[in-house]
Structure 1
Amino acid sequence: MVELYLLVLTGWPSDGKTNIAKMLRDFGFEYLSTDAVRRKLYPGKAPLDIPYPEGWEPIWDEIRMRRDVTLLSGRNVVIDSCAQNNYIRDKFFSLDLETKLSLKAKGAHLHKYLIKLCVNDDVRLQRELARGRNLDDMLKIIDAMKSDYQDPANYKFEDVLFLEYPNNTFDDQAKILEHIKSLCGCSSRNIWNKYISVKKRKKSYAGKIVVSGEDHRANLEQIIKPHINKSTVMLDEGCGIADHLLLYSMGAKKIYGIDTCTELILEARKSVANRPEIEIMWMDINDLEFDNNTFDIITNVFAPQTKKSCEEVYRTLKKGGLYVRVTGAGEFVEYNGKLLKRPQDIIGRGMFIDKMPKQILTEETHQVKSAGFSFVKVNEFQGIKIFKTMEDAISYLR
């Protein structure tokens, strides 16, 4: 018997549905977002500009189609949607007869969960401000949703189970994620164990650990600054606390920094408080909310690059524009803004492990070229500290 899981996340805007959904993606779930489909089907239109419900039917149908394809391929699905009433929930949970029979023929048992995520009004407000959203628009959206809202706790549909997490703050998200994973039989992604197992392989490059140093900063300045003038519009993907952005953006007309971590966004806004030309926003690099041909320069320093993110860069970059990507000598694990001492936390500080440099360069160069870029130049430089063992790195970071 194949155990499959269909999760529908419900809640108000900024209740943290997207964060949980994207975390689950790391554990084999296909992430389906009604917001992403909406932007694809109705480019440039805000949610309230789309007639309800008739204008939303194509969005829900697209989600259903992607859901069925994914389930039939043997993968779990998480749907990120406000899903404020039972009509929408039925759309996401109901399967047509053909899909049911196909799953049965494959020996699959589908588990369905409706999961409500909540935060208090103060946290929601803080998140909206961090994302640069108009609060009046948010309140209008919530008011519109309340007009036909139905409590998900009372939802009854076949064998759908209901879960509620009333405090989906960043402090509690790890606990929520672990609970959901345990329900779905997901194993934890233990990067430390991965390092140990890889290190044991013969002729492995995993024994070389690079702690990101200052060398890449000088390289960035040399590459980017000659291209900046008074009309330059820039985007920094995965801006973090805006340290790189502040380094090389002086003289540009307008600079956008984007990230998906609210805490880092708030810190970044403090850092750029005296730079009115810089705007820090919450945004996913795989789904840029900018028009085509917007930017003269786009930078990505250590934020995970994907084929989709490269396509978005190509779409939003002007003809003849510059895309600068800084990667490392192995798998990058996102910087969390803290200097911690446990092995798994140190890896979270910003290290590169596992893959050989040539493999990384080959993969990322292919992604960039596949997106449409015709001229790709690779500059190699070395981090400030290199260690042969993880123990040496731990000693250094202590």
Structure 2
Amino acid sequence: MQLNKTLTLGLALAMVPLVGFAQETVVVVEDAEAAAPTFDEIGPYLMTTLLFLIGGFLVFWMAAGFAMLEAGLVRSKNVTTQLTKNIALFSIAGIMYWLIGYGIMYPGDFNGYFALQGWFTELEPVGLAAADADLGYASVASDFFFQLMFCATTASIVSGTLAERIKLWPFLIFVVVLTGFIYPIEASWQWGGGWLSEMGFSDFAGSTLVHAAGGFAALAGAIVLGPRLGKYAKDGRVIPMPGSNLALATLGTFILWLGWFGFNGGSQLAAGTVGDITDVGRIFANTNMAASAGAVAALILTQVMYKKVDLTMVLNGALAGLVSITAGPLDPSLFGALWIGAIGGVIVVFAVPMLDKMKIDDVVGAIPVHLLAGLWGTLAVPFYTDGTSFVTQFIGFASIGIFVFVVSIVVWFILKATMGIRVSEEAEIAGLDTTELGMEAYPEFARG
């Protein structure tokens, strides 16, 4: 009996430190739980960051769409060159936007027109703690990645217009200027809190800032470069130069269509509330409706005008519908998205022959799709978005257009005077694949 009492007392004394440790542990755990942020606090940050990442890689996939579209619409002797230009321009944009473009586009405090600051964009540190994050928005890394995709898209628009006769390296030098300076400057006027934003201009996802800007840069290049050999006969006739692979062009269009959901949906820039994520779904639906309407409008119109459906017009009609809805994909009803997109498809059908009459050679139809449909989409915003006006929308479009066109045409003229931008007649006839790169996309086939 005495032994049992002794053992019990010893065990009790031994448990005292353990009880104290357990109590301290409970306190520490309770303090940690009290300090840990709730999902209501970190949810918007997490969801918006995720939206940027998903939207960003969808827009990245558009680079493949542009590559396939252009590869299909150029002749087989120039396919490798177009593919090279597309992967090179995207890579250059990735470096230039990090080096300087992002800092120009989002400079913080600036005079509203131009700010040269923020070289070498820096990301958050590894293992960022919730207490150190800006929980009201999203991670810098995700925002940088998302915005970079828009910069690269602007350059992709230029590539197709100037196909089949431009030298590779002068084109890539222009891309350096476009992605490092031209695009970030004009985009900062709206998305960086600049003077157009203060004036009340509205461009939700970039009908003007991205698409029309790329179209204006392409137009300037086409004017300086001139048309392809044999495109326009002396008697005024337009000589058709069919693309090498309409299956690739169609695949490229579907890829672009898919990527556009990230382009427009991600531009909601928030996903942390029921309202935000519901709006993203609404944007997806309107984006799809506009593309469908643009394609159907071009389908019907080409049948009526030419007695046969023109697949290339249908493809560009879908893209024009997408560009048209990009300036305001949130506010319209589905019917509103339908008629806005349909007018975009009509614009393409009439604008392509109009450019040919002006002897402006646009190989893939990028100027009608991106510039003219971009104008229409920008002017359509006031129909559904409160607080916007047609005058303000036109001023915004015109100011960006003038800036991009003037700077672009100066750069093109400088490149033309210093190193030349056009290949020789012999090289153009033989094809840029063999003369510029020394390799062909379809070596087993005769050149077209």
- Structure number with greater Rg is 2
TM-score range, shorter chain: under 0.3
Q: Which has the higher contact order (CA 8 A, sep 6+)?
A: 2
Structure with greater strand percent: 1
Normalising by the residue count of structure 1, what TM-score does the alignment of the two structures yield?
A: 0.26
Structure with greater helix percent: 2
